[in-house]
Structure 1
Amino acid sequence: MTDRLYGGIDIAMKVPSHQYQATIAFYRDTIGLKEFIDKAPAIGFELGPNKLWIDEAPMMSQAEIWLELFTGDFDDAAAHLEKSGVVRCDTIEPLPEGFKGGWITSPANIIHMVREPEAW
């Protein structure tokens, strides 16, 4: 166990275009989650202490969940993950130049953003 990583607050759901509007309506109208938009074009919902972001992903055929992990030192965490054999997949979605974070995948192919909290 390492103290280098801890759970973040963001959960991203990448949804194919043919399911996007129905998914937004499900969380907003059926479930009744409070909607907010501060990272357009993604739609955000309050999910307890977390934020659920729903992104339209036209290139996908099925929905995926992406999770967030925080670290106080990305370089240290990245070295730990590499030493542990964790696969980096930074090409999955571009991040801003100089961003203190990156993308990894779990053995079950769940995408995780690992970042310093102030990086976003």
Structure 2
Amino acid sequence: MTATITGGINIAMKVPPHQYHATIAFYRDVVGLKPFTAKAPAVGFELGPNRLWIDEAPMMSQAEVWLELFTDDSSAAASRLGEAGIVRCDAIEPLGEGFRCFWITSPASIVHMVREPDTW
């Protein structure tokens, strides 16, 4: 089976502690996005049809944007991406047992979670 891969709805911004509160205030108070905290301690914002998650990341010195891709078959997607030379980087952040998802990076070093939509 060939996996279908499409864009997901979640965008994660990993922000170091010294920028975290100002970043939250920027999106909430300056831009005026509606916040929600369905996955505390991360703070989420409605970003059109997407969700922007702001995660405090003490191990980082600068902010990074991480994207989500959906697939109908995570095993087939992993094979397809592997055959294209894309290396998994599951150690980047633990996903927990039972999730049908994994991490990759693009050639430009942008982190992507590849997951089946019903597993997160």
What range is the shorter-chain TM-score in? over 0.9
Aligned to 1:20: 20
Aligned to 2:103: 103
Aligned to 2:9: 9
Q: CA RMSD in A?
A: 1.0
Where do residues 49-60 of structure 1 align in structure 2 (5 Å cutoff)?
49-60=49-60
Instruction: Tell me the SS of whatever aligns to 2:54.
Output: strand
Aligned to 1:78: 78
Shift of the alpha carbon at 1:21? 0.2
Instruction: Tell me the SS of whatever aligns to 1:54.
Output: strand
Aligned to 1:90: 90
Q: How many residues align?
A: 119
Shift of the alpha carbon at 1:8? 0.2
Identity of aligned residues (%): 71
5+ residue gaps, structure 2: none
Looking at structure 2, the residues matched to 73 and 3 of structure 1 have their Cα atoms a distance apart, in angstroms, of 6
Aligned to 1:30: 30
Shift of the alpha carbon at 1:3? 6.1
Deviations 1:18-68 (A, max 9, x none): 000000000000000000010001000000000000000011000000000
Looking at structure 2, the residues matched to 82 and 22 of structure 1 have their Cα atoms a distance apart, in angstroms, of 38
Q: Under a length normalisation based on structure 2, what TM-score does the superposition of the two structures give?
A: 0.97
5+ residue gaps, structure 1: none
Aligned letter for 2:17?
A: S
Aligned letter for 2:63?
A: A
